Amino acid sequence: MSAYPNATATAATPSDDPACGAPLPVLGRDVTVPLVTGGEVGYAALDYAASAPALQRVWDDVAAYAPYYGSVHRGAGYLSQLSTDLFENSRRTVAAFLGCRPDDQVVFTRSTTDSLNLLAAALPARCEVFVFETEHHASLLPWRDARVSYLDAPRTPAAAVATLERALASRDPEAPALVCVTGASNVTGELWPVRELAAAAHRHGARIVLDAAQLVPHHAVDIAELDVDWIAFSGHKLYAPFGSGVLAGRADWLQDAEPYLAGGGASRTVARRADGGVEVEWHATAARHEAGSPNVIGVYAIASACKALEEAGFDALEARERSLVARLRAGLAEVPEVKVLSLFGDDAPRVGVLSFVVEGWNSSHFAAALSAEYGIGVRDGLFCAHPLVRTLLDGDPQEQGECGAPEAEPGTRSLNAIRVSFGAGTPEEHVERFVRAVRELVSDGARWSYRTEDGRCVPDRGGAAA
C-alpha cells in the first residue's frame, strides 16, 4: 500500500524561522502568557523532562494523515489497509531508530510506565530484579510480583557498576534476573554508564532493560551497541505527545508470557471447548501484547519524531545542547545561593535536565514566581523520584513526601527542588531569560505575593509584594 495522498513529510532540516531560534520548531513557540506584573510575554517552556512539546513536523504529519485514519489490521477497506501499512511501517521506523537486532520485537504501549509494567508482567518465575534507588518511579515500582533488590545511590559511574557487580554476585545463579536502569536521570540529567552496566549484568547471567525516556530525545540510542536486552520510552518525551510508548527488545520472555491485556488483536484464534469454555491461541508476535484497537496516530507520531531527529542529526543536536547546558551551569554558578543537584559530580556529562535549590526559598514559591513574573514554565517537587531527591537534598530517602507539593509556606525551606529542562525545540533566549530571572529573584526577591492553594504555590489575589 502506497503512502496516503498529499501527506509527504518535509525533511527536518534546521529551522529557518528566526523567531524559532531552535533546530526543530515545536508547537507553542509563538504562545504568549500573561504576567501578574502586567503585560504578556512569549512562553518559555522549560519542562521538557516532564513532557516535550510536539514537533511542528510531527503535528503536520499527523494532521496530514488524520483524514485517512482507519481501523488497523481488521478492515478490508482502503483506509484500513492504508492505516495498517502506516502502523507497521512505523514499527520498522522505530526499530531502525533504536538499532534493533533482527529478532527483536517492537511493542507499542501507552508510555514508559506502561512498557515497564508490561515487562514486569512477563518476568519468568523466580525472577529477581535489581534496581537503583535513584530510578524514576516508572522503573522503581512495577516489579510487585518479583523479588526486588533495591541498590543504594552510587556517587560515581564506576561505583554504580561495582555496586551492581556485588549485588549480582550474591544472587541465585539458577534463577533468572533482570537489571533496570535509566539512561539519563530525570532529576540531574546525568548520563549513566549503560554499556558497562549491561556488560556487568550479562557477566552474571542477568538481563537488562534501559529506561530511555530521558535519553532518546537527546542522544542517539542503539540497542545492539549498548548491548541491552530491552529499551522503554514514551512518545510524549520524544516530541510526540499522542499517548503512545515503546518497549523494544528480546522476544522470548514476551512470547512466553500471558498477554499483557486479553482481547481482540492479541488472540490468533478463539474457539469453544467441549466443556463449555474457550480455547485461545495467542499471537507470538508483538500483537500478543497489543490487544484492542491500537493508537495509530500516537504510533505514527513517534515514527515521525524519530525521522525528524535523525534527519536533523544527533551530532549537531547534542553539540548544541551541550553548549546550552554549559551556559546554564555557568549562569547559575554566578548565583551563590543556588545549589545544583548532582549524583556523579559537576563534571559528569548530562542531557538538558538540571535540578537545583535556592537558599532561603521554598522551591514551589520560586517556581511559581518564575511562571507568574517571567512566563517561564519549570517543575518543582520530587519529580517522581522521591528517594533520589531526598538523598540529593541530604534528607532521609525513606521519608515520605507528596510529589510536587510545597511542604512549607512561601519563603521557607522545603525538601523539594526546582527542575529546568530543554531540548531541540528550545530557543537560546529561553535559557538566557531563565538565568536572568533566577539572578533577579535571588537578588531582588519576588515582586508579587504568593499563597498555598490546593497544594500549590500560586499568586495571591492581593497583589504586589510589600
Give pLDDT, residue 396. Answer: 59
| Catalytic machinery residues | 384
pLDDT tens column, 123-181: 999 999 999 999 999 999 999 989 999 999 999 999 999 999 999 999 999 999 999 99
* 26, 56 contact by CB (below 8 A): yes
Cβ 448 vs Cβ 465: under 8 Å:
yes
**How far apart (Å, rounded) are the C-alpha atoms in residues 6 and 242?**
22
Q: Which residues are registered as beta bridge partners of 147?
A: 128
Average pLDDT value for the chain:
91
The per-residue pLDDT for range 374-404, each reduced to its tens digit, is: 999 999 999 999 999 999 998 755 555 444 4
Tens-digit pLDDT profile for the chain (466 aa)?
Answer: 444 443 333 444 444 454 457 899 999 999 999 999 999 999 999 999 999 999 999 999 999 999 999 999 878 899 999 999 999 999 999 999 999 999 999 999 999 999 999 999 999 999 999 999 999 999 999 999 899 999 999 999 999 999 999 999 999 999 999 999 999 999 999 999 999 999 999 999 999 999 999 999 999 999 999 999 999 999 999 999 999 999 999 999 999 999 999 999 999 899 999 999 999 999 999 989 998 999 999 999 999 999 999 999 999 999 999 999 999 999 999 999 999 999 999 999 999 999 999 999 999 999 999 999 999 999 999 999 999 999 999 875 555 544 444 445 555 456 789 999 999 999 999 999 999 999 999 999 999 999 988 888 999 987 777 5
Query: Distances from the Cα of 307 to the Cαs of 6, 66, 243, 304, 416, in angstroms?
Result: 18, 19, 18, 5, 37
Q: Is the pTM of this model over 0.85?
A: yes
**Would you say 335 and 444 are in contact if contact means Cβ atoms under 8 Å apart?**
no
With b meaning 16 or more CB within 10 Å and e meaning fewer, what string describes 48-79?
bbeebbbbbbbbbbbebbeebbbebbeeeeee
CB 127 within 8 A of CB 147: yes
> What is the per-residue pLDDT for 18?
41
The predicted pLDDT at position 104 comes to 98
